[in-house]
A and B are shown apart, each in its own frame.
Chain A
Amino acid sequence: DTEVTQTPKHLVMGMTNKKSLKCEQHMGHRAMYWYKQKAKKPPELMFVYSYEKLSINESVPSRFSPECPNSSLLNLHLHALQPEDSALYLCASSQDGTRNEQYFGPGTRLTVT
């Protein structure tokens, strides 16, 4: 089973709201990732967690706050977003933080109004 699940599938939020995106995998993977994808563009890496520790933050604004409660779960907390943050947010996981293939979830389509 190579499934990564993400909830919600769609999210509409105002600029003053606080919301969270959730990601889960049960493959025993120890590395998890958040990506942002704008239309007709490749995904852009935001954060990497390796063995439940944040290992990479690609200079993401603080209005995005990642959390890894355990090895199977990854959250992305959102606060005071801007309309330009509207995008598809993808979660991925891999066996570990070396050059293994990454498995992606279906994404959360976020619209900021």
Chain B
Amino acid sequence: GDSVTQMEGPVTLSEEAFLTINCTYTATGYPSLFWYVQYPGEGLQLLLKATKADDKGSNKGFEATYRKETTSFHLEKGSVQVSDSAVYFCALSHTGGGNKLTFGTGTQLKVEL
């Protein structure tokens, strides 16, 4: 079955540091890939998406590229802020699967001054 593997957290960074959160997936065919962010006490917000190989999703300074050859979708940001502190979920969905999202376990990011 489909699965998503994310790096363990928490990840603690200083403000303005470079961020990478690794995400790899196992799935047949060509799933769509997503990053969601969850701030404390809130629901999930769609951060970015990619629907085919080599697509780059980007939003609010975050980027991720759909790499079919390495089955990866790593999240990056050049300069993090304290306000980026949250839990980040990598996820995939398949056509014909009722649009079920398969989530990774989530990575907590803490950004300090």
A contact residues vs B (CB 8 Å cutoff): 2, 4, 6, 31, 40-43, 45, 48, 50, 55-56, 90, 92, 94, 96-107
In the assembled complex, the Cα of A94 lies from the Cα of B49 at a distance in Å of: 14
Which B residues are in CB contact (< 8 Å) with A106? 42-43
Interface size on B, as a range, is: 20 to 34
B contact residues vs A (CB 8 Å cutoff): 31-32, 34, 36, 42-46, 49, 51, 89, 91, 93-101, 103-106
In the assembled complex, the Cα of A42 lies from the Cα of B91 at a distance in Å of: 10
Smallest CB-CB separation from A45: which chain B residue?
B100
Q: Is the CB of A98 within 8 A of B43?
A: no
Q: Is the CB of A42 within 8 A of B103?
A: yes
CB distance from A36 to the nearest CB of B (A): 12
Q: Is the CB of A104 within 8 A of B51?
A: no
In the assembled complex, the Cα of A98 lies from the Cα of B46 at a distance in Å of: 17
Smallest CB-CB separation from B45: which chain A residue?
A104
Q: Is the CB of B46 within 8 A of A42?
A: no
Q: Is the CB of A104 within 8 A of B98?
A: no
Q: List 24 A-B contacts (CB under 8 A).
A: A4-B43, A6-B43, A40-B106, A42-B89, A42-B91, A42-B104, A42-B106, A43-B44, A43-B101, A45-B100, A45-B101, A90-B43, A92-B44, A97-B98, A98-B96, A99-B31, A100-B99, A101-B49, A102-B46, A102-B99, A104-B36, A104-B45, A106-B42, A107-B42
CB distance from B64 to the nearest CB of A (A): 14
Contact of A99 among B36, B89, B99, B105 (CB under 8 A): B99
